[in-house]
Amino acid sequence: MIPHVLPTYNRAPLAFERGEGAWAITADGTRYLDLGAGIAVNLLGHAHPDLVAALTEQAGRIWHVSNLYQIPEQERLADLLVEATFADTVFFTNSGTEAAELAIKMVRKHWDHAGDPDRIEILTFEGAFHGRSTGAIAAAGSEKMVKGFGPLMPGFRTLPWGDHAALDAAVSDRTAAILVEPVQGEGGIRPLPDACLKGLREICDRAGALLVLDEVQCGMGRTGRLFAHEYAGIAPDIMMVAKGIGGGFPLGAVLATEAAAAGMVAGSHGSTYGGNPLACAVGARVMQIVADDAFLAEVNRKAALFRQKLEGLIAAHPAVFEGVRGQGLMLGLKCRVAPTDMVRAGYDQQILTVPAADNMLRLLPPLNIDDAEIAEAVARLDRAAASLAA
Ligand SMILES: *Cc1c(COP(=O)(O)O)cnc(C)c1O
């Protein structure tokens, strides 16, 4: 008999009752060091007092009104995002998938509005992940995600990762946009080199196409800059944000320049919940904490410390680990064993990690993890690796 919850997940036999900072705690009081952060979502850990205050204060005032009315909390968060980024305007969603959906619609509307409605091809890359809607799976084009869900939405072309010749050959006057994650998350913590991101910007400028960045996983300070593309010194035309921006409350956003958003007018797009007062009150508090040079400098300092310790871990377990890659506190340990085995071995040492493609074990701690917790995480990973080798 089918379970009452549709069985689309492979869940671990673990349930958490509460959390404190980098720790998730089961009903019997067992403390797990949480290096998954709900898949890069709990940016400031569990039950951060400022976020709890922002949420509960808002909860005592008003939860939801719909976008039929002004939402001051939404305007405040939009102000913060516009101030801190390339963007001129923001649309709020409840998830990364919805942000991807709007980014795709915005690209199409942009070219229709520009009088070039046949310009519909969006170039994407192997290993990409943009969500699970019909549009987002067409954009990713990975076999696992699309199998049985055809026909796929037309207008997407998936290119091999790192193949410059294939990219040059694919760009034409039908190219509406290039859509890419500056650091692939699900694809296995694969950072796009700065020179490549610069190159994509130049290709888009030359072809007149839009550059759309998916910073759902790598954005919001995760890589040590507020947004990962800042490392390359370029700006996109459209950017998707979600995961960390709500600190655990469902929230996503599409940021865009005024030019890219041309054509989006009243009635073009909408959402019942998107940008509701609860989500935006929390999002604004997250932005105030994270969009801060001193906070981001700390992320980078801790990332360097973590990486140095991980190099030691790899050297100690050459049969289990091959290397480390990533940027900031978006790190991946490339495994010689199945990463899911390493995740399970981690459970036995009370540490939570997340597998990814390309044999990666993702380490995505809350950005406010402290030095002692980083040392503790490496000690637990060390014991987990030793148990696998045994
Ligand atoms: C998680 C993710 C998404 C989808 O976000 P959901 O909130 O799960 O819908 C899209 N793009 C990237 C890069 C992601 O990591």
Per-residue pLDDT tens digits for 159-172: 999 898 999 999 99
Same domain, 269 and 304: no
Residue 217 CA to ligand 1 centre (angstroms): 7
Q: Is 34 helix (H, G, I), strand (E, B) or coil?
A: strand
Decide if 2 is inside a domain. Answer: no
Q: Which residue has the higher pLDDT, 254 or 144?
A: 254
Ligand 1 test: best mutation among 41, 42, 92, 129, most atoms within 8 Å of CB?
129
pLDDT at 108: 98
User: 128 in a domain, yes or no?
Assistant: yes
Q: Which of 380, 336, 327, 388 is nearest to 361 (CA)?
A: 336
Residue 216 among known ligand-binding residues: yes
Question: Are residue 119 and residue 243 in the same domain, yes or no?
Answer: yes
Note the pLDDT of residue 53: 98
pLDDT band of 145, cuts 50, 70, 90: confident
Are residues 176 and 304 part of one domain? no
Q: Tell me which of 43, 130, 145, 220 to substitute to probe ligand 1's pocket, judged by most ligand atoms within 8 Å of the beta carbon.
A: 130
At residue 390 the predicted structure's pLDDT band, cuts being 50, 70 and 90, is confident
For residues 298 and 284, state if they share a domain.
no
CA atoms within 13 A on the CB side of 69: 10
Q: Average of pLDDT values for 103-128?
A: 97
Asked if 117 and 153 count as a contact pair (C-beta separation under 8 A), the reply is no
Give the domain-ending residue among 245, 266, 290: 290
List of E strands, 27-118? 31-34, 89-93
39 located within any domain: no
* Tens digits of residue pLDDT in 202-240: 999 999 999 999 999 999 999 999 999 999 999 999 999
Strand partners, 135: none
Q: Which residue among 229, 256, 290 closes a domain?
A: 290
Going by CA atoms, what residue is nearest to atom 11 of ligand 1?
Answer: 130
Query: 342-361: buried (b, 16+ CB within 10 Å) or exposed (e) per residue?
Result: bbbbbeebbbbbbbbbbbbb
Residue 5 is assigned to a structural domain of this protein: no
Average pLDDT along the chain: 97
Residue 141 has pLDDT above 90, yes or no: no
CA of 383 from ligand 1 middle (Å) equals 31
**Which of 75-89, 137-151, 363-377 bottoms out in mean pLDDT, i.e. has the lowest?**
137-151
Is 217 annotated to bind a ligand? Reply is: yes
Cα-to-centroid distance, 136 and ligand 1 (Å): 9
Instruction: Let me know if residue 64 belongs to a domain.
Output: yes
pLDDT digits (tens, 9 = 90+) for 322-356: 999 999 999 999 999 999 999 999 999 999 999 99
Based on DSSP, count helices (H) and strands (E) in the chain, helices before strands.
Answer: 12, 17
Q: Give residue-wise pLDDT tens across range 272-303.
A: 999 999 999 999 999 999 999 999 999 999 99
Query: Does a structural domain hold residue 118?
Result: yes
The residues near 378 (Cβ < 8 Å, ≥ 6 apart) are 306, 309, 310, 312, 313
Mutate to test the pocket of ligand 1, among 9, 132, 216, 354 (most ligand atoms within 8 A of CB): 216
CA of 191 to the centre of ligand 1 (A): 16
pLDDT tier, 374 (very low <50, low <70, confident <90, very high otherwise): very high
Q: How many A from CA of 379 to the centre of ligand 1? A: 30
Domain ends where: 290, 307, 341? 290
Name all residues whose Cβ lies below 6 A of ligand 1.
95-97, 100, 129-131, 181, 185-186, 214, 216-217, 242-243
* pLDDT band with cut points at 50, 70 and 90 for residue 38: very high
pLDDT above 90: percentage of residues in the chain: 97
Q: Ligand 1, residue 181: give the atom nearest the CA.
A: 13
Residue 143 pLDDT greater than 90, yes or no = no
Same domain, 160 and 244: yes
Q: Which atom of ligand 1 is least distant from the CA of 218? A: 13
State the pTM of this model. Answer: 0.98
Residue 327, domain extent = 16-34+293-389
Ligand 1 centroid–CA 224 distance in Å is 19
Query: CB within 8 A of 193, min separation 6: which ones?
Result: none
174 plus 142 within the same structural domain: yes
97, 137, 218, 354: residue to mutate for ligand 1 pocket, most atoms within 8 A of CB: 97
387 C-alpha to center of ligand 1: Å? 32
How far is 178 from 226, CA to CA, in rounded Å? Answer: 22
Is 214 annotated to bind a ligand? Reply is yes
**74-108 pLDDT, tens per residue?**
999 999 999 999 999 999 999 999 999 999 999 99
Q: What residue type is assigned to position 339 of the chain?
A: P
Question: Closest by alpha carbon to 13, among 339, 343, 389?
Answer: 343
Atom of ligand 1 nearest to the CA of 96: 5
Q: Report the pLDDT averaged over residues 2-19.
A: 97
Give the model confidence (pLDDT) of 304-322 as tens digits: 999 999 999 999 999 999 9
Distance 97 CA to ligand 1 centre (A): 6
